[in-house]
C-alpha cells in the first residue's frame, strides 16, 4: 500500500524520470534462539519467506467510447507471494493503482483503483480514470531484503471529452477478473455516494475472461465527461544487502 501511494505521487506531481526505490523483507529468515551458556535448537523457529515478481502482462484495460475505436492498455502488475510456516499464505498484487489481497478463501480489495464516477449539477456524469501500466520482468524469492526500483517513463493528462457511454473492460485470468469485479463493484458503490444511484453492476463476460463496467447517464441527452491520466512505469527488482562487512 505504501508502494501504491509512492507511485501515485510520481504521476500526480508529473515526476517523469525520477527513480523511486522501495526496500522490504521477503520474510523473517530463520533466527536462532539461544543463551550465553546454552543453546536450544528445539526453540529455533522456522523462518518464513516469499517471492516478489513484476510482470508486464497478465491483464489489460480496454476503454470503449461511443464513436471512437477502443483503446487497450496492458496493465502489468507487481506481486508478493508469502511462504509462511505458521500463518495463512497471502498474495498481494499492485495493479493500476489498486492493491488486491488473495488468500485461500478468495480475493479482496485493500486499495481501490484510480477510477472515480460522479454526477454534475445538471445530471451529466464525470468519469476520471488513471490507466497506470507497469513494464518489467523479474522474480526474486527468499527471506532477505529486496529492492524494487520504479521509474515513471511518461505521464499525460488528456483533455475532457464527452461521450454517450464509456465501457471499462479488464481482461485476464479468472482470479484477475474476479478481483476486478470486486474493484468495479467498489467504484459503483462510491458512485452511489456521489448520487449516481443507477450505475449498472459489473458484468463478467467470456467465461470469466473479462469484466466490464458501463458508465452512462440515466437520462437521454446527457453525456459522460471522460478524463484520463495515463502513466507508464518501468520496474526492476534487485537483491538488497542487509549487512555490510
Residue 239: per-residue pLDDT: 85
Assess contact for 77 and 54: CB atoms under 8 A: yes
Phi-psi region of 96 (alpha: psi -120 to 50; beta: other; left: phi over 0): left
Q: Tell me the pLDDT tens digit for each residue of 208-239.
A: 899 999 999 888 889 999 999 899 999 999 98
pLDDT at 198 over 90: no
| DSSP H or E segment with residue 178 | helix 174-193
pLDDT at 39 over 80: no
Residues 236, 71: Cα–Cα separation, whole Å: 26
Question: pTM of the prediction?
Answer: 0.86
Residue 43: per-residue pLDDT: 57
Tell me the torsion sign for CA atoms 171, 177, 180, 184. Answer: positive
Q: Tell me the pLDDT tens digit for each residue of 55-105.
A: 998 899 999 998 889 999 999 999 999 988 778 889 999 999 999 999 887
For residues 206, 202, 78, 108, the Cα torsion angle rounded to the nearest 10 degrees is -120
Phi-psi region of 114 (alpha: psi -120 to 50; beta: other; left: phi over 0): beta
Q: Among 33-37, 123-127, 220-224, name the one with the lowest average pLDDT.
A: 33-37
Assess contact for 103 and 175: CB atoms under 8 A: no
Over range 136-161, report the average pLDDT.
87
Domain range annotation of the chain: 2-27+43-239
> HSE on the CB side for 139, CA within 13 Å?
6
pLDDT at 32 over 50: no
Amino acid at each position: 500500500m505504501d508502494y501504491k501511494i509512492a507511485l501515485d505521487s510520481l504521476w500526480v506531481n508529473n515526476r517523469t524520470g525520477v527513480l523511486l526505490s522501495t526496500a522490504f523483507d521477503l520474510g523473517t529468515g530463520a533466527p536462532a534462539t539461544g543463551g550465553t551458556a546454552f543453546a536450544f535448537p528445539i526453540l529455533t523457529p522456522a523462518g518464513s519467506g516469499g517471492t516478489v515478481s513484476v510482470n508486464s502482462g497478465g491483464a489489460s484495460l480496454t476503454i470503449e467510447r461511443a464513436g471512437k475505436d477502443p483503446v487497450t492498455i496492458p496493465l502489468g502488475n507487481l506481486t508478493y507471494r508469502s511462504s509462511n510456516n505458521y500463518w495463512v499464505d497471502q498474495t498481494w498484487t499492485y495493479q493500476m493503482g489498486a492493491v488486491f489481497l488473495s488468500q485461500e478463501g478468495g480475493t479482496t480489495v485493500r486499495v481501490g483503483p484510480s477510477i472515480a464516477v460522479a454526477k454534475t449539477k445538471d445530471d451529466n456524469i464525470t468519469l476520471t480514470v488513471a490507466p497506470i501500466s507497469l513494464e518489467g520482468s523479474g522474480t526474486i524469492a527468499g527471506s532477505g531484503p529486496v529492492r524494487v526500483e520504479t521509474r515513471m517513463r511518461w505521464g499525460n493528462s488528456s483533455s475532457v471529452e464527452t461521450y454517450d457511454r464509456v465501457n471499462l473492460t479488464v481482461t485476464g485470468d479468472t482470479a484477475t477478473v474476479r478481483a476486478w469485479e470486486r474493484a468495479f463493484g467498489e467504484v459503483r458503490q462510491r458512485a452511489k455516494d456521489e448520487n449516481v444511484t443507477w450505475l449498472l453492476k459489473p458484468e463478467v463476460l467470456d467465461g470469466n475472461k473479462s469484466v466490464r463496467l458501463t458508465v452512462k447517464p440515466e437520462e437521454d441527452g446527457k453525456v459522460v465527461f471522460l478524463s484520463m491520466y495515463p502513466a507508464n512505469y518501468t520496474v526492476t527488482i534487485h537483491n538488497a544487502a542487509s549487512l555490510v562487512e
